[in-house]
Amino acid sequence: MNVDKLSKRLETVVSYIDKGMSIADIGSDHAYLPCYAVKKGIVSRAIAGEVVEGPYQSARKQVASVGLNDIIDVRKGNGLAVIEAGEVDAIVIAGMGGTLITDILEAGKEKLQGVKRLILQPNIAADVIRNWLVRNGWQLVDEEILEEDGKFYEVLVAERGEVTPSYSVKELMLGPFILKKKNEAFYYKWQQEIEQWEHILQELNKAEQNEKVHYKKESLLNVINMVKGELK
């Protein structure tokens, strides 16, 4: 992966950036994504944010090496602390856990003023992000699930909504837009999840049976049956 060729995961993330947008890539690592987006003529300008010194220096060197210092501003700071309110059109946060992504958004709420779009790619716990979006006045406008190198990734795209839809437990867990698309990656991911859950269920059946274990088994069975219903 480099500034001319991103991974399938990051190419998918970039595909949701509208041409001409200014972006902040939070946790930018080597700044591959903003460099790629600028070189392709997709974004007008970008901020690459990184909290760790090593990746921050790597991002600075990368941006300088491709001569984009005048368009991409590499900044060191924690989460959304690297931007000012109203400074960018879209925020990209990719390659982290869903809980960490929501922590970043929650801690930097005041920086989201003027932001038109959030493009979020959690490695796990996408449902946590969906719950946060619903609670904070953001409306999902698209989603995608993909597989790369044996791992599954979800991309969530949200915009400010006057009326935030009320999603079911199933939609929050599996994704309302992903449920409509149901591509190959969707089936593979959730079949693997079901297999893991059924293994846990077997272990619970071996455990000493009490009220707590019974509750766990019942809850897990409900989830398994719900997801199985979408794989038919």
Give the tokens for residue 132.
């946060």
The closest of 87, 86, 104 to 95, measured between CA atoms, is 104
129-161 residue pLDDT tens: 999 999 999 999 999 999 999 999 999 999 998
Decide which of 112, 133, 164 is a domain's last residue: 164
Residue 173 lies in a domain: no
Residue 212 lies in a domain: yes
**Going by C-beta distance under 8 Å and a sequence separation of 6 or more, which residues neighbour residue 73?**
45, 46, 47, 48
pLDDT in the model for residue 141: 96
Counting the structural domains of the chain, the total is 2
**Going by C-beta distance under 8 Å and a sequence separation of 6 or more, which residues neighbour residue 166?**
134
Residues 200 and 116 occupy one common structural domain = no
Confidence tier at 55 by pLDDT (50, 70, 90): very high
- CA-CA distance, 50 to 199, in Å (whole number)? 39
Residues 159 and 226 occupy one common structural domain = no
Confidence tier at 2 by pLDDT (50, 70, 90): confident
For 201, the domain range is: 186-231
Residue 116 lies in a domain: yes
Residues 71 and 121 occupy one common structural domain = yes
For residue 142, give the CATH number of its domain.
3.40.50.150
Mean pLDDT score across all residues of the chain: 96
Residue 72 lies in a domain: yes
Residues 50 and 126 occupy one common structural domain = yes
Specify the length of the chain in residues: 232
Residue 158 lies in a domain: yes
Residue 174 lies in a domain: no
Residues 211 and 155 occupy one common structural domain = no
Complete DSSP assignment for 74-102 = EEE-SGGGGS-TTS-SEEEEEEE-HHHHH
Residues 108 and 211 occupy one common structural domain = no
